[in-house]
Structure 1
Amino acid sequence: MKKWLLIPLFSLSLTGCAFNSIFINYPSQIAPVKAQINSNDPIKGADEVADNISGADGLLYAQEAGRVAQIAGDFEASKAYYQQAVAAYLEFDDKATLSASELGATASSLFINDNVIPYRGPGYERVMLHQYQALNYLLSGDKEGALVEVRRSNNLQSSEQRRYQKSNESVQAIANGTIDAEVNKLGKAAGSTTSSFLNAYSYYITGVLHEILGEPNDAFIDYRKAAQIAPNNPYVQKDLVRLAKQLSMPQADEFEKRWGKAAKPKKGEGEVIMLVERGFVDEKQSLTVPFRVHGSWQTASLATYPFNSRPVAKGQIRGLDKRLTAAPIANIDALAITALKEELPAALVRQAARAYAKAEMARSVRSESKARNNETDFGSIAMQIFNVVTEQADRRSWLTLPKQAQIARTYVNQGQYSVQLDNSAPASIEVKSGRTTLVWVIDTGNYTRFYTIII
């Protein structure tokens, strides 16, 4: 048994990882950070994860640290953390071959679990990374820098989908009714979301920036993409009507007939655009399925998502000339579920290889035990315990993302307003005639934070 155990242990030594997610599930590690976000000093949460950025899961921790700093309103610190995550993604992109440590991690995953493999992040996380970096630039007063980031975000939505379609091949891995049923449940839980790479929230923010910077044609294109993904959002519909009329588009009359006339600003009015983010994205759960290989019991542990997730209430915005009801633009839960579903073929291949590798280890131990005429097969028992203990689902994901993004948009008279989201503490915003006040509202449960900029 010792010689078999040396294989994964030696491979682990090549990865240089900190064992964090290998035996302790990631949601448990990030729970204190999310609790810190719901305090009056959220920036401490960034400090808690920043120390792990140098490890094998550094990309994930950089994303978490950047998001925590951003929620705390420290946009410069958030920029720096996000840039580290961007650099990590680019490093993965530039590698033509796997390094020795990555080869070791992949080998170790055959004997331990998928948490050994360095975290690379699904496509939707990478898209949102650039989207959030754009908001950092915007709220720091750099509109051009923000536009560069949202363009990168939009380009990634196309390139990531092409990469997935090219690499995803139909595979036959573990034939198991429980796993098949879980895959079907994931599809139902994702609802109408058919791709994890297409994010209406990202397209909408791009459209807003294009419009504010005097590029209405580009704004129309992005609003239309957002409408294709989130067709029932009334604010996106009215944006399309307004710009189609402004640009004398051939679709203008058709849009107006479908969605009604769009409001126009009156003299002395300014525009208010609300970006509302609510809650935290769901955590992955573990699905463990027992089965027999070569006469010994093995377990397959795969990540899944809960199917009883609570719906998100539409935000009620008070304090303007009239009450506004925010409308959903993106369900981040659905993007995460769809991403997991897209990753399952490759995960099942690794799972099948791991199950048989562990079964071979167990069979070898049993053979050695029989050769020594051991009455009690302690080696085989220990091997099966080792297999069960090490078989942990990969539950890593960016957990400080919101559960849902909502938007609202209106014109109001210039002046000072005290606005609230539902029953939150009020925040003061200013509206100037002929200008746009962008209000970013982050509701994490116990706290609601407002960040504004007049453009």
Structure 2
Amino acid sequence: MKRLILLALSALLLCSCANKSLTRYETLAPVLKEEGFEGTIKKIEKEKDDIYGEKSAFLYHFDEGMLYHYAGKNKESIKHFEQAEQIYEDLYTKSVTNEAAALATNDNMRPYRARPFELLLMYQYQILNYLAVGDLDGALVEVRRAQIASEALYQKDKDKVNDNGWLRYLSALVYEMSGEEDDAAIAYLKAAKAFEEGNVKMPKEVWEYINESLRKMDRADDLKALKTPMLAQTPKATQSREKGQEIIVVGYAGHSPILGEMYLSGTFVSAGAINLTYKDGETGKIESFTLVAPPVAGAGSNTFHIGFALPQKKKLPQHTNMFTVSLDGSKHTQIEKVANIDAELDKNMKDENASTMIRTATRVVIRTIAAQQAKKATNTGNGIFDLVKNIAVDVGQTQLEQADLRVGLFMPNSINVTRIPVDAGTHELVISALDSQGRVVGEYKLGKVKVAKGQKKIVLVPSIE
């Protein structure tokens, strides 16, 4: 009997293991702050099995790809993103085995498949990686892969997946570099539509270059079909075309949010309704809502009290909010925001929350029914033993439910871009990182930026600590 009690308590302890996602950021954030990108890479590579594990293989390569990108080791970054992309493709078709395991335990048992915005962000970084190593053909391949991925996401669920303006704009730049002006014009037009649909207001500079490109290609009528008013003049974009060279600064500002747990509790009526209550993490208010509950085999007409945790966005302190740039001693000008990862995560969670809640609540009910049946089937008539055993079963099945808090850890909070027309030759570039109050928190002095005739020189500035 004692042996059985010990086995039950051991099972409880195993079920209560910490959520790996909760400790991942706490483990790596201090390393990033103290040892930078390369120190964090070494930490991950040394302890990747403990920090990530088999089920988060995509995130391991995704995070490593980003860190190598920031460290300027583009070839290594390319390799990791290639592996992340392969994992995504392999998991695109659902695995019955993994889904069954998730139904019995929690969503962390499913291999992480990537959020739509993470997938598109991966292609953006990969395009920039190939440009950094001087492989324009490789960048073009990634542009086309990104287009296929975007179309697949639209086909999967048009109501939930928006386009990505910065990715389309970057694609247009790559087409321009390769002399494919028609494709560039099409990409610029798609970029304009994506910005109008997305969570980032159309950047003024971006809109200027779009206007200039479409007019040059005799597609001014396409501009009239857009919501944003046409521009009468495009001085900067015209100057870039006339000079033939430009420096393009891409700044990664701040650190994207991570995920914490939000606890919900309420009532589940099979084939009826789910009424849930929770405390809003930002406002502190108690909120409640009702969803349609699916039928659950074995539930009958019983009412179940349920409780479980779901992901909740957790904002991090932002060291860098924006950038300014100075060329050859000129006055500093602010770089415009082209992507907002914070807002992308918000949208993704809003899109997925209802289905996640229903799936999780259903799973909790199924386990509750199974636990009650197991307790009845194993009752021995020994009051103390049955009490310990029943407590272990109840608490153990509750502890099995852990929120899936997996998300890329090293994404920027926003991406900022500017294009600067220049003469061929060597230039001095000073890029300042600013906080939300406009105070300088970091400075990047690039004293010898060489720009060849006809070149679009891309400069990357990561300030995500």
Coarse TM-score class (shorter-chain normalised): 0.7 to 0.9
Instruction: Measure, in 1, the Cα distance between the counterparts of 2:233 and 2:16.
Output: 53
Instruction: Measure, in 2, the Cα distance between the counterparts of 1:205 and 1:222.
Output: 9
Which residue, out of 352, 362, 368, partners 1:343? Answer: 352
Note the residue ranges of structure 2 that are not aligned, 5 or more in a row: 197-201, 269-301, 434-439
Which residue, out of 224, 239, 243, partners 1:265? Answer: 239
CA contact (8 A) 1:273 1:410 kept: yes
Count of aligned positions: 399
Residue 316 of structure 1: aligned partner: 324
What is the CA deviation profile of residues 147-203 of structure 1, one whole-angstrom value per residue up to 9, with x for unaligned ones? Answer: 1102211221121121135xxxxxxxxxxxxxxxxxxxxxxxxxxxx8544211211
What is the CA deviation profile of residues 54-94 of structure 1, one whole-angstrom value per residue up to 9, with x for unaligned ones? Answer: 7222111111111111111111111111111121122223x
Residue 416 of structure 1: aligned partner: 427
CA contact (8 A) 2:247 2:421 kept: yes
Instruction: Measure, in 2, the Cα distance between the counterparts of 1:210 and 1:62.
Output: 28
Task: Mark the CA change 1:322 to 1:431 in structure 2 (over 3 Å): closer, same or farther.
Answer: farther
Secondary structure of the residue that 1:259 maps to in structure 2?
coil
Task: Mark the CA change 1:203 to 1:250 in structure 2 (over 3 Å): closer, same or farther.
Answer: closer
Residue 439 of structure 1: aligned partner: 459
Residue 397 of structure 2: aligned partner: 387
Residue 24 of structure 2: aligned partner: 29
Instruction: Measure, in 1, the Cα distance between the counterparts of 2:446 and 2:176.
Output: 26
What is the CA deviation profile of residues 180-235 of structure 1, one whole-angstrom value per residue up to 9, with x for unaligned ones? Answer: xxxxxxxxxxxxxx854421121111011111211222222222222223242111
Q: 1:243 corresponds to which letter in structure 2?
A: S
Question: Offset at 1:310?
Answer: 6.6
Instruction: Measure, in 1, the Cα distance between the counterparts of 2:432 and 2:57.
Output: 34
- Describe how 1:222-301 pairs up with structure 2 within 5 A: 222-231=187-196, 232-251=202-221, 258-263=230-235, 264-265=238-239, 270-291=245-266, 298-301=306-309
Instruction: Measure, in 2, the Cα distance between the counterparts of 1:124 and 1:20.
Output: 32
CA RMSD of aligned residues (A): 3.4
Q: 1:412 corresponds to which letter in structure 2?
A: V
Q: Does 1:155 align with 2:163?
A: no
Q: Does 1:353 align with 2:327?
A: no
Q: Does 1:426 align with 2:445?
A: yes
Q: Does 1:43 align with 2:34?
A: no
Q: 2:19 corresponds to which letter in structure 1?
A: I
CA contact (8 A) 1:49 1:64 kept: no
What is the CA deviation profile of residues 75-118 of structure 1, one whole-angstrom value per residue up to 9, with x for unaligned ones? Answer: 1111111111121122223x5x73xxx61x43333343211111
Q: Does 1:80 align with 2:90?
A: no
CA contact (8 A) 1:269 1:433 kept: yes
Secondary structure of the residue that 1:286 maps to in structure 2?
strand
Instruction: Measure, in 2, the Cα distance between the counterparts of 1:240 and 1:113.
Output: 46
Question: Offset at 1:46?
Answer: 2.5
Question: Offset at 1:413?
Answer: 4.2
Residue 70 of structure 1: aligned partner: 69
Task: Mark the CA change 1:21 to 1:438 in structure 2 (over 3 Å): closer, same or farther.
Answer: farther
CA contact (8 A) 1:275 1:407 kept: yes
Q: Does 1:399 align with 2:396?
A: no
Secondary structure of the residue that 1:57 maps to in structure 2?
helix
Question: Offset at 1:433?
Answer: 5.0
Instruction: Measure, in 1, the Cα distance between the counterparts of 2:104 and 2:405.
Output: 18
What is the CA deviation profile of residues 319-367 of structure 1, one whole-angstrom value per residue up to 9, with x for unaligned ones? Answer: 4434221111111122222222223344233212221122113322553
Which residue, out of 102, 113, 118, partners 1:109? Answer: 102
- Describe how 1:168-247 pairs up with structure 2 within 5 A: 195-231=160-196, 232-247=202-217
Q: 1:154 corresponds to which letter in structure 2?
A: Q
Instruction: Measure, in 1, the Cα distance between the counterparts of 2:427 and 2:183.
Output: 31
Residue 179 of structure 1: aligned partner: none
Instruction: Measure, in 2, the Cα distance between the counterparts of 1:218 and 1:22.
Output: 52
Note the residue ranges of structure 1 that are not aligned, 5 or more in a row: 10-18, 166-193, 446-455
What is the CA deviation profile of residues 115-166 of structure 1, one whole-angstrom value per residue up to 9, with x for unaligned ones? Answer: 111111122222222222221111111001111102211221121121135x
CA contact (8 A) 2:153 2:161 kept: no
Secondary structure of the residue that 1:396 maps to in structure 2?
coil
Task: Mark the CA change 1:404 to 1:123 in structure 2 (over 3 Å): closer, same or farther.
Answer: same
CA contact (8 A) 1:38 1:444 kept: no
Q: Which moved more, 1:243-252 or 1:76-85?
A: 243-252
Instruction: Measure, in 1, the Cα distance between the counterparts of 2:183 and 2:162.
Output: 20
Instruction: Measure, in 2, the Cα distance between the counterparts of 1:253 and 1:106.
Output: 46
User: Which TM-score applies when normalising by structure 2?
Assistant: 0.75
Instruction: Measure, in 2, the Cα distance between the counterparts of 1:240 and 1:21.
Output: 54
- Describe how 1:78-157 pairs up with structure 2 within 5 A: 78-93=77-92, 98=95, 103=97, 105-157=98-150
CA contact (8 A) 2:163 2:194 kept: yes
Identity in percent: 21
Instruction: Measure, in 1, the Cα distance between the counterparts of 2:154 and 2:57.
Output: 24
CA contact (8 A) 1:43 1:69 kept: yes
Instruction: Measure, in 2, the Cα distance between the counterparts of 1:72 and 1:234.
Output: 30
CA contact (8 A) 2:245 2:422 kept: yes
CA contact (8 A) 2:243 2:421 kept: no
